[in-house]
């Protein structure tokens, strides 16, 4: 997919499939026949119905699960917003390739294939305090790269990111989309000290002021204040929806990247589940604003798709109960 203009992309975001009511209803009916009090498996039951709705299957499957990790570099790191230098992004991509990162271990345990997609790491985005992070064409190219990374053969996809400094654009996008001031959305990211926190807030405030004319348009916000990996996650989230593919979102950066879709369409993120709530300050607020209750709360703030990958195991558990449990009739168990 190659989006030619912001209006082309906006039109795609406004034309979204609704999923299969029939499949979701069939899953729910089967849940009510299984050997348990109705509703007693809580969210495991609704997860099964969610899988059915977006896969369009009465009996969902999880044969092909993939984790897509997008990596990008950010010009706003020049403002001292991260505890790590930007070259760590390239070094961590190499670590992913060598199998040495947390996400490598978690993907293996979850039975998921891992793809890492670096996005022009030698050319950081613009410093959004003085210029747009991306012009329209750079933004659309990153969105298109994310869109094309999602293939139709998948049963479930997890999104993650790597990019030193990227909690700053995530907080800037969240502030622009939902208001409340930069301090509300800004956290310590990679572990900045109090001075670093102040620099982050000032950078976000400067970016919002610099790009005030973009703040009424979710896609312009994502271009002016975001990053290539965030834009790619937006494109990948859109592609998953177009392909009726369920998505597990990772932490703050990943959720902020997908949030413009929710601002453009009232059910824009209906095909997603928030895998976890991270320890990054703005994530819980962002999930509340989006109406996405998280599955896990483990105090994580790594990124990489790590929380999403952990949640794959919960989704697999939901499907195993749905597909393998006996009904009352099959087990010869009396119903109430």
Active site residues: 304
User: d(Cα 60, Cα 56) in Å, to the nearest integer?
Assistant: 8
Other residues' Cβ atoms within 10 Å of the Cβ of residue 32? 12
Strand partners, 157: 66, 247
């Amino acid at each position: 997919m190659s989006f030619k203009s912001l209006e082309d992309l906006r039109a795609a975001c406004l034309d979204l499939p609704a999923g299969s009511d029939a499949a979701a209803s069939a899953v729910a009916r089967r849940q009510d026949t299984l050997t348990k009090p109705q509703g007693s498996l809580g969210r495991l039951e609704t997860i099964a119905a969610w899988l059915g709705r977006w896969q369009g299957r009465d009996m969902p499957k999880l044969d092909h699960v993939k984790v897509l990790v997008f990596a990008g570099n950010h010009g706003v790191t020049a403002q001292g917003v991260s505890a790590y230098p930007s070259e760590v992004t390239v070094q961590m991509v190499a670590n992913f390739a060598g199998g040495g990162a947390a996400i490598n271990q978690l993907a293996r345990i979850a039975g998921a294939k891992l793809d890492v997609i670096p996005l022009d790491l030698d050319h950081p985005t613009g410093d959004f305090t003085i210029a747009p992070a991306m012009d329209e064409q750079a933004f659309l190219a990153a969105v298109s790269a994310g869109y094309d990374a999602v293939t139709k053969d998948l049963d479930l996809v997890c999104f993650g990111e790597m990019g030193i400094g990227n909690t700053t654009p995530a907080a800037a996008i969240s502030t622009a989309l939902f208001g409340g001031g930069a301090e509300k959305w800004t956290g310590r990211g990679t572990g900045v000290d109090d001075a670093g926190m102040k620099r982050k807030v000032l950078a976000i405030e400067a970016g919002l002021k610099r790009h005030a004319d973009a703040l009424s348009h979710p896609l312009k916000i994502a271009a002016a204040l975001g990053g290539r990996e965030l834009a790619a996650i937006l494109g990948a989230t859109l592609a998953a929806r177009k392909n009726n593919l369920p998505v597990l979102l990772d932490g703050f950066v990943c959720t902020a990247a997908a949030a413009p879709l929710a601002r453009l369409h009232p059910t824009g993120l209906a095909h997603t589940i928030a895998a976890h709530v991270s320890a990054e300050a703005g994530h819980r607020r962002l999930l509340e604003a989006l109406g996405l209750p998280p599955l896990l709360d483990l105090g994580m703030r790594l990124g990489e798709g790590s929380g999403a990958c952990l949640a794959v195991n919960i989704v697999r558990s939901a499907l195993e109960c749905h597909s393998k449990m006996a009904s009352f009739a099959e087990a010869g168990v009396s119903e109430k």
